[in-house]
A and B are shown apart, each in its own frame.
Chain A
Amino acid sequence: MTDRKWTSKSLASSFFHRIFYATIRLGGRWAAYCLLVFVAGFYALHPGVRARTAEYRRKVLGESGFFRNLWFCYRHYFEFGKMLVDRAVLGILGRFDMHTTREDKELLRDLLAEERKGLIIITGHAGCWQLGTAGLEDIDAPKAVVLYRDRADVDRQYYEHGKGRKAPFRIIDPLGPLGGTVEMMEALKQGSIICFMGDRNFGDGNSGVKVDFLGGEIEVPIGAYRLASLMGAPVVVAFSRRTGPGRGKIRISRALQVPDGLGREAQAYKVYAQMFADDLEEYARTNPLQFYNFYDMWEKRDERDEHQGKTQGSPDQRP
């Protein structure tokens, strides 16, 4: 395991999550958004929480004054909170409208039919990615999501709100036996669509490569590209965007075929990881408030080691 800087653990306690869930049940989506105004304000004013996205703000805003930074930070947490509220509303009240263009759906169907080797979708922690599979309901193929969850995580995936409701997709735990890779292989053989997050690395030393992103270098995982090479599965890079209350869109930014026989060296996959990073950068520049990696992605490993006491195990993600 790498000394990763992020965790999926929520910033808020289970108690505060329950308050939001109760608010949604009693007052609906808008009541939860109103509550969120104060919660996002609290996080934006908290220096420790604000510091987590300081480097990201520097990258997208440039050098800017305190109040501009503060305003951006507030809207950033507010946008993220709205996405989490929408996710909970989908689970509790069953409402979310995820739009996928006809062209993108046709492309997905064509890739699945032509190759018959499943399909890998690589996306990032952006937009309403946690609701993304809702936009794939029309595609007649089993779906799986490679999903890391912190043991201490208290917030719920939307399908967990209904008692005994089955997840609409299979969940593959990347920290399971053999990193879940045999399950991934099995799923692709069955013609499944597997969704990967391409912007955070939690594997060992050979599992990531450095790519250019927003004027610096970050490390991203290469597992999805290597799996595509091994299994001959086509890959698409796609991002979702929250377009309004209970509404979102998914767009495919590119389709790519990773050649077979690229081997074990992470560097062999760098070109594909860079393509993903380029698309993610374009997304972040166009939708700066919907990019949700709440930690310093650009921090170098040696600097990270120095500050490990400060960063390791800190709940860095969610309001």
Chain B
Amino acid sequence: MREMNIKEKLKEVLISDLNLVDVTPEEIRDDEPLFGDDGLGLDSLDAVEIIVIVQKHFGVEIRNMEEGKDALRSLVSLAKFIEERQ
């Protein structure tokens, strides 16, 4: 239930803070990759922006590449990462 809420909030803050004007929360699939053309289409510098967003809205820090690589795979992996550390 908590992970569900995190996912929904994540979708909202990603759209608003990354200014994804053509995307709605419903269009973001939980398991689609955040980066690259096969997924949400974010670029590598968006990864830094997402790390800043996660810290700002959820108070969770992604400290290094090891953490980031797993957490930033998809929306569901990011929500799981946040839930485990909150």
Contacts and interface: CB of A to CB of B under 8 A. Distances in A.
Interface residues of B, number: 19
Contacts of B65: 177-178, 182-183, 186
Contacts of B47: 178-179, 181-182
A204 interface: yes
A230 B49 contact: yes
Contact of A230 (B35, B45, B62, B68): B45
Interface string A174-205: 00011111111110000000000000000110
Interface string B1-40: 0000000000000000011000000000000000100000
User: B45, B64, B69 — which one has the most chain A CB atoms within 10 A of its CB?
Assistant: B45
User: B19, B35, B49 — which one has the most chain A CB atoms within 10 A of its CB?
Assistant: B49
Interface in A220-270: 223, 226-227, 230-231, 263-264
A180 B44 CA distance: 8
User: A182, A183, A186 — which one has the most chain B CB atoms within 10 A of its CB?
Assistant: A182
A178 B68 contact: yes
A186 B65 CA distance: 8
A179 B49 contact: no
B49 A264 contact: yes
A51 to B, nearest CB: 33
A184 B68 CA distance: 12
B60 interface: no
A204 B64 CA distance: 23
Nearest to A179: B44
Contact of B45 (A177, A186, A226): A226
Contacts of B19: 263-264
A223 B65 CA distance: 18
A181 B69 contact: no
Interface residues of A, number: 21
A53 interface: no
A157 interface: no
Contacts of B52: 230
A185 B51 contact: yes
Contacts of A181: 44-45, 47-48
21 contacts: A177-B69, A178-B35, A178-B44, A178-B69, A179-B47, A181-B48, A182-B48, A182-B68, A182-B69, A183-B65, A185-B48, A186-B63, A186-B64, A186-B65, A223-B45, A226-B45, A230-B49, A230-B52, A263-B19, A264-B43, A264-B46
Interface of A: 177-186, 203-204, 206-207, 223, 226-227, 230-231, 263-264
Given A177-B65, A178-B47, 7 more contacts: A182-B47, A182-B68, A183-B65, A185-B48, A186-B65, A230-B49, A264-B43
